[in-house]
Structure 1
Amino acid sequence: MSSAQDNPCTRCGACCASFRVDFARQELLSEGGTVPDGLTVDVTDATCRMRGTDHARPRCAALQGTVGERAGCGIYEWRPSPCREFGMRAPLGLGDEACNRARARHGLTPL
């Protein structure tokens, strides 16, 4: 039987340090959603972005730990929809193409 600790999706962090994360403002805590406003930046009147994900070397402000060793989302239960949907096309524990690209950027083997 596997646990969340065995799931590389909850301890890798490569995706959190590889991609821009934009989402609808309605997901912000101040707008009735769950994502803490302080971890975001405005993009347009309708969208915002997780702070740090638009840098040349992206790293989401909610990411804690060291990518590929022991990393996790500090707001996992409140993360925005792009993070919730990432990798859902692949079976649990098996990376999809975007996951494996993110892992490669950090010198990690594909899942």
Structure 2
Amino acid sequence: MSACTACGACCASFRVDFSVFERDDHGGEVPTGLALDLTDTLCRMRGTDHSPPRCAALMGAIGQKVTCGIYEWRPSPCREFEEGSDACEQARRRHHLPPLNAS
């Protein structure tokens, strides 16, 4: 089991901006209703611009058990996010979770 399914900190720590061409109304796969337009070419996942941020597609309790409601259709920033990366560890700290890469 991936640490991600028991974490979700990244989904509640960062803004998620991506090309409008990743939305399903522009030929992509991200459900249009989960994205807010920023410009003619850029949009943001709903909820990630809140303070504190929390992606609208995130289901579950951070640090316990989570899932992405659109995992198969998630935008490129989510696909590219790496478990255990510096950004991952930063998100985990924000939510008072222990580091994955404990030395």
TM-score (normalised: structure 1): 0.87
Q: Among 57, 82, 85, which residue is 1:96 paired with? A: 85
* Whole-angstrom distance in 2 between the partners of 1:32 and 1:39: 15
Aligned to 2:72: 77
Q: How many residues align?
A: 100
What percentage of residue pairs aligned between the two structures are identical?
A: 64
Does 2:20 align with 1:25? yes
Q: Among 7, 12, 15, which residue is 2:7 paired with? A: 12
What root-mean-square deviation, in Å, do the aligned CA atoms of Structure 1 and Structure 2 show?
0.9
* Whole-angstrom distance in 2 between the partners of 1:80 and 1:8: 20
SS in 2 for 1:98: helix
Aligned to 2:32: 37
> Unaligned regions of 5+ residues in structure 1, if any?
1-5, 88-93
- After TM superposition, where is structure 1 displaced by more than 6 Å over at least 4 residues in a row? none
* Partner amino acid, structure 2, of 1:100: E
Does 2:94 align with 1:105? yes
> Unaligned regions of 5+ residues in structure 2, if any?
none
